[in-house]
Amino acid sequence: MIQPNLPDSKLPRVVIVGGGFAGINLAKSLRKAAVQVVLLDRNNYHLFQPLLYQVATAGLEPDSIAFPLRGIFKKQKNFHFRMAEVKSVDAANNLLETNIGDIPYDYLVLAMGSNTNFFGNKMIEEHAIGMKSLIEAVQIRNYVLKQFEESLLFTDEATVKPKLSFVMVGAGPTGVELAGAFAELRKYILPKDYPELPIHLMEVYLIEAGPRVLAGMSEETSRKSKAALEHIGVKVLTNIAVKDYDGLTLTLSNGETLQTQSLIWSAGVKGMSIPGLPEEAMLPNGRVQVNDTNLIKDTNNIYAIGDIAQMINDERFPKGYPMVAQVAMQQGKQLGKNFCNVLKGKALKPFKYKDLGSMATIGRNRAVTEFAGIRLSGYIAWVAWMVVHLLNLLGFRNKLVVMINWVYRYFTYDRGTRIIIKRGAANIVKLRQTIYQADPQVPQITQTP
Amino acid sequence: MIQPNLPDSKLPRVVIVGGGFAGINLAKSLRKAAVQVVLLDRNNYHLFQPLLYQVATAGLEPDSIAFPLRGIFKKQKNFHFRMAEVKSVDAANNLLETNIGDIPYDYLVLAMGSNTNFFGNKMIEEHAIGMKSLIEAVQIRNYVLKQFEESLLFTDEATVKPKLSFVMVGAGPTGVELAGAFAELRKYILPKDYPELPIHLMEVYLIEAGPRVLAGMSEETSRKSKAALEHIGVKVLTNIAVKDYDGLTLTLSNGETLQTQSLIWSAGVKGMSIPGLPEEAMLPNGRVQVNDTNLIKDTNNIYAIGDIAQMINDERFPKGYPMVAQVAMQQGKQLGKNFCNVLKGKALKPFKYKDLGSMATIGRNRAVTEFAGIRLSGYIAWVAWMVVHLLNLLGFRNKLVVMINWVYRYFTYDRGTRIIIKRGAANIVKLRQTIYQADPQVPQITQTP
């Protein structure tokens, strides 16, 4: 019979759901605490999401931005990991229901992060592809490379153009960085790899419903970023929303249409809440309402940190903190400290967000960063971007492999990992099927008879 | 309409099927020849098969042993690549039928290599897994790691033992190297990653129907290898064949049974021939009969090189040359030279195999090599093994990444890539399904309406 088989302990048990930035920082900060730490995740690795777009565009191998969770905590005695799907919370009985059995907790911390938000547009949800998981990024790489290969097999523009048109929706960091990487593919890879391809047919679009790209940053930075993107050949459409998409024809809010077989959706995320939480705490955006110590509304021992937590205690962020890695890391650490305070009988400290600024890279030698009012752009910003990301990447091996890929790419203009590990799916609907077939919601455990 | 769209050329067209060691060496050696070189492969990369076993055992990232075919030949003007499935040969009309349309050829060269040979045992074919492709290796990694994770969820030995028992069948280099790597996982990774696992329940078996391991090498080397494997805890069973396997119970020729959920089959390979070749040339082992210039029997312009070609012109190899990389590389180069000879009106030179010896690694610091009568074993052999493999690996980036992984592993005893990119399949039958669903035989190309 399947059961979590967690070791008995007299210490209070803190169950953390999700091994992202929030979850691992919390678990680490409980290293010395007199608690039993139980981390659950559907995957066995921590994913460094900021570099997902480089996996999707054949710049990095998937393994280099994933770090085995057991590896991170192998020295932490009070830590226990289980690979599991969380189903729901039984708050009344302090039980977490999962596909590997019920797990009793003293403190429960939800850190499941966020998922792609299609804002209820079923047509787009069915035909577009999001980029939040490693398998999605790998499948996008397979799919994009396959579009290039297939483009050689047709002579009529009407067929080739949609295969070579790549549309990012949403001009946040992900959309901007993806668009920049696609522009680089066109400039440096295609002419060498596909001399026979009508390169002029390849288009890279970045579509943003709002007035500017990188809306989280300053007007000036937005302007510079847009200019930089257009300079490398990205068609940036602002104040234009996507109305509909059938897998080939993309209809825009201004009535115009685009023909594309590749629509990558980075226009929004939503919290990944689970059943069993108090009605009042569940918000329409999938996040849960927490107080300034990350305690979920109307609960006394269930917390939420990172993307999934909506905390409003800062006039700079009236709608809650942005769903970014910085907030997740800081909330994880802070909650860890607070658990230690509780155990020592001390008072809890409310969360204060230290905004360390933000950055985005726009293709080779170009990035924008903002930190404490200081705005950098161009080469210096690009170097800063690389340093910051390398430092934050977990694991010495991963750091080295990523650095080598970057150095190699810098000098050769090449992208080493442009391989189709499985031949990509035939179309974007099949692509989504492969992903979800590959990553099913149902538990998949066999017990021998 | 789907068509190969190969550029017209007055030069004779050499169509090469397969981008393995034989195919790429042939294509390279035609670099300066007055021919149009067309390379077809179902994948867009060249796979360095000798290191597949390290991908399967979380030692290397898949991307590090795969090199994009277009990258290899980007400077070769007369080279054209198409990703395609070959269906059959229409020898009468010099046409190759593929899923991207018919391709006319002046010379056709078959270099499709070999695939796992289950010797017609349907039960084993259904429940065991081979290791010839990158997707198979990745899936084996996912599956093995999942067995470890799942073993924590059960308390009764009857359930846990089969999940922790890993059986290799066939003690050639692949079986030996796999068994060694599994023994290393048990020794260095499991105790750190899974302190709660009853490590003593993990068993690694190497089963060989013949009298000795590494039968291709000397008696002495076989003896040493067997001793080394047993020293690191591999149970080596020789003179024992596998009779049956239902996914859990493995029945041996001596009547004994083993309980295992992981049976990796490396007991044999067979040529991957295609329909349309002369009856007399097709051999029961899937190989095709060629003369000493690799011309297929009863044809005048169809050649076969590498694993698929059975050439008998050397008394050392009365049943044809072994299906190894060395033979494939040398035949590819030789045939290239011969094509150049033909174009210059010179006579063809018959193939002569230079046996460069063979080597196998048996876990950390242990390997065996034989070259020109010189036999090495232990540490020196292990270093030699690494140098030879690094030198033969294509691409500077790949060499660096692989080296870093090895250096890292040497000093940390760690295996960096033990991530489950997709949660592995529930059982070995589903595993095979995932692989074949992921890598279907049917063409998968969408044409926009």
Residue B422 vs residue B62, higher pLDDT:
B62
Please answer yes or no on whether B62 and A64 come within 8 Å at the CB atom.
no
- Residue B420 has its nearest CB partner, among A44, A248, A396, at A44
Q: pLDDT value at position A118?
A: 92
Buried b / exposed e across A26-45, counting CB within 10 Å, b at 16+?
Answer: bbbbbeebebbbbbbbbbbb
Domains in chain B: boundaries: 13-42+84-116+270-343, 122-267+357-438
For chain A, the first-to-last Cα distance in angstroms comes to: 10
Q: pLDDT value at position B301?
A: 97
Q: pLDDT value at position A198?
A: 87
Predicted confidence band of residue B443 (pLDDT cuts 50, 70, 90): very low
- Tell me the C-alpha distance between B209 and B230, whole Å: 17
Mean pLDDT value of segment B130-142:
91
Radius of gyration of chain B (CA): 22
- Residue A153 has its nearest CB partner, among B4, B71, B438, at B4
CA angle B373, B24, B284 (to 5 degrees): 70
- Residue found under tokens 């010099």: B94
Task: With beta carbons under 8 A apart, name residues in chain B contacting A425.
Answer: 444
**pLDDT tens, N- to C-terminus, chain A (449 residues):** 899 999 999 999 999 999 999 999 999 999 999 999 999 999 999 999 999 999 999 999 999 999 999 999 999 999 999 999 999 999 999 999 999 999 999 999 999 999 999 999 999 999 999 999 998 999 899 999 999 999 999 999 999 999 999 999 999 999 999 999 999 999 999 899 999 998 899 999 999 999 999 999 999 999 999 999 999 999 999 999 999 999 999 999 999 999 999 999 999 999 998 999 999 999 999 999 999 999 999 999 999 999 999 999 999 999 999 999 999 999 999 999 999 999 999 999 999 999 999 999 998 899 999 988 899 999 999 999 999 999 999 988 899 999 999 998 888 888 878 888 865 566 666 666 665 554 443 334 555 44
**Common-topology check for domains A13-42+84-116+270-343 and A122-267+357-438:** yes
- Residue found under tokens 């190497």: B206
Angle between helices B325-343 and B21-29 (to 10 degrees): 30
The residue of B419, B429, B435 whose CB has the most chain A CBs within 10 angstroms, and thus the best one to mutate to test that interface, is: B419
Residue B432 in this model has a pLDDT that exceeds 80: no
For chain B, the first-to-last Cα distance in angstroms comes to: 10
DSSP codes of every residue in A126-142: HH-B---SHHHHHHHHH
Please answer yes or no on whether B401 and A4 come within 8 Å at the CB atom.
no
Instruction: Write phi, then psi, for B40 (nearest 5 degrees).
Output: -115, 140
Say which of B61, B85, B149, B177 is annotated catalytic.
B177
Which residue type sits at B371?
F
The residue of A190, A423, A428 whose CB has the most chain B CBs within 10 angstroms, and thus the best one to mutate to test that interface, is: A423
The residue of A45, A417, A434 whose CB has the most chain B CBs within 10 angstroms, and thus the best one to mutate to test that interface, is: A417
- The answer to whether A159 and A248 have CB atoms below 8 angstroms apart is no
Q: pLDDT value at position B442?
A: 36
* B430: exposed, middle or buried (Cβ count in 10 Å: 0-12, 13-18, 19+): middle
Buried b / exposed e across A205-219, counting CB within 10 Å, b at 16+?
Answer: bbbbbeebbbeebee
Interacting residues of A60 by C-beta distance below 8 A, sequence separation 6+: A51, A54, A402, A405, A417
* A279: exposed, middle or buried (Cβ count in 10 Å: 0-12, 13-18, 19+): exposed
Task: With beta carbons under 8 A apart, name residues in chain B contacting A37.
Answer: none
Residue B12 in this model has a pLDDT that exceeds 90: yes
- The answer to whether B306 and B20 have CB atoms below 8 angstroms apart is yes
- Residue A134 has its nearest CB partner, among B2, B421, B448, at B421
Task: With beta carbons under 8 A apart, name residues in chain B contacting A430.
Answer: 444
- The answer to whether B167 and B258 have CB atoms below 8 angstroms apart is yes
Q: pLDDT value at position A441?
A: 39
B126 touches chain A (CB under 8 A): no
Residue of B nearest to A68 (CA): B419
Question: Model confidence over B185-205: pLDDT tens digits?
Answer: 999 998 999 999 988 999 999
* Among the listed residues B332, B397, B389, the one whose alpha carbon sits nearest the alpha carbon of residue B31: B332
Q: pLDDT value at position A442?
A: 36
Sheet holding A13-17, edge to edge: A79-83, A36-41, A13-17, A107-110, A302-304
CB atoms < 10 A from the CB of B201, how many? Answer: 14
Establish whether B230 is a catalytic residue. Answer: no
Say which of A61, A136, A177, A370 is annotated catalytic.
A177
Task: With beta carbons under 8 A apart, name residues in chain A contacting B417.
Answer: 63
Q: Which helix (H) or strand (E) holds A390?
A: helix A379-392
Interacting residues of A300 by C-beta distance below 8 A, sequence separation 6+: none
- Tell me the C-alpha distance between A12 and A410, whole Å: 50
- Residue A153 has its nearest CB partner, among B61, B134, B445, at B445
- The answer to whether B415 and B363 have CB atoms below 8 angstroms apart is no
The domain B13-42+84-116+270-343 having CATH identifier 3.50.50.60: the answer here is yes
Residue B449 in this model has a pLDDT that exceeds 90: no
Task: With beta carbons under 8 A apart, name residues in chain B contacting A82.
Answer: 149, 152-153
Which residue type sits at B302?
I
Interacting residues of B356 by C-beta distance below 8 A, sequence separation 6+: B326, B371
pTM: predicted TM-score of the whole model, two decimal places: 0.93
Interacting residues of A130 by C-beta distance below 8 A, sequence separation 6+: A115, A116, A118, A136, A264, A265, A266
Residue of B nearest to A259 (CA): B448
- Tell me the C-alpha distance between B108 and B102, whole Å: 13
Cβ-Cβ pairs closer than 8 A, A with B, add up to 209
Structure tokens at A406: 């970057």
- Tell me the C-alpha distance between B326 and A132, whole Å: 43
* B108: exposed, middle or buried (Cβ count in 10 Å: 0-12, 13-18, 19+): buried
Q: Coil, strand, or helix at residue A322? A: coil
The residue of B127, B246, B397, B436 whose CB has the most chain A CBs within 10 angstroms, and thus the best one to mutate to test that interface, is: B397
Question: Model confidence over A297-310: pLDDT tens digits?
Answer: 999 999 999 999 99
Q: Coil, strand, or helix at residue A388? A: helix
Distance from the B421 Cα atom to the nearest Cα atom in chain A, whole angstroms: 6
Q: Coil, strand, or helix at residue A308? A: helix
Residue B431 in this model has a pLDDT that exceeds 70: no
- Residue found under tokens 């994948």: B43
Question: In the 8-state DSSP scheme, what is residue A442?
Answer: S
Structure tokens at A102: 């019920």
Q: pLDDT value at position B427?
A: 67
- B122-267+357-438 folds as FAD/NAD(P)-binding domain (3.50.50)
Predicted confidence band of residue B258 (pLDDT cuts 50, 70, 90): very high
Task: With beta carbons under 8 A apart, name residues in chain A contacting B192.
Answer: 70, 74
Predicted complex ipTM? 0.91
Q: pLDDT value at position B440?
A: 41
Distance from the A360 Cα atom to the nearest Cα atom in chain B, whole angstroms: 26
Please answer yes or no on whether B445 and A420 come within 8 Å at the CB atom.
no
- Residue B423 has its nearest CB partner, among A67, A408, A439, at A439
Q: Coil, strand, or helix at residue A213? A: coil
Sheet holding A257-259, edge to edge: A242-245, A249-252, A257-259
- The answer to whether B151 and A5 have CB atoms below 8 angstroms apart is no
Mean of the per-residue pLDDT values of chain B:
92
- Tell me the C-alpha distance between B7 and B9, whole Å: 6
A441 touches chain B (CB under 8 A): no
- Tell me the C-alpha distance between B14 and B301, whole Å: 10
Residue of A nearest to B400 (CA): A404
What is the SS3 assignment for chain B?
CCCCCCCCCCCCEEEEECCCHHHHHHHHHCCCCCCEEEEEECCCEEECHHHHHHHHCCCCCHHHHEEEHHHHCCCCCCEEEEECCEEEEEHHHCEEEECCEEEECCEEEECCCEEECCCCCHHHHHHCECCCCHHHHHHHHHHHHHHHHHHCCCCCHHHHHHHHEEEEECCCHHHHHHHHHHHHHHHHHHHHHCCCCCHHHCEEEEECCCCCCCCCCCHHHHHHHHHHHHHCCEEEECCCCEEEECCCEEEECCCCEEECCEEEECCCEEECCCCCCCHHHECCCCCEEECCCCEECCCCCEEECHHHEEECCCCCCCCCCCCCHHHHHHHHHHHHHHHHHHHCCCCCCCCCCCCCCEEEECCCCCEEEEECCEEEECHHHHHHHHHHHHHHCCCHHHHHHHHHHHHHHHHHCCCCCCCCCCCCCCCHHHHHHHHHHHCCCCCCCCCCC
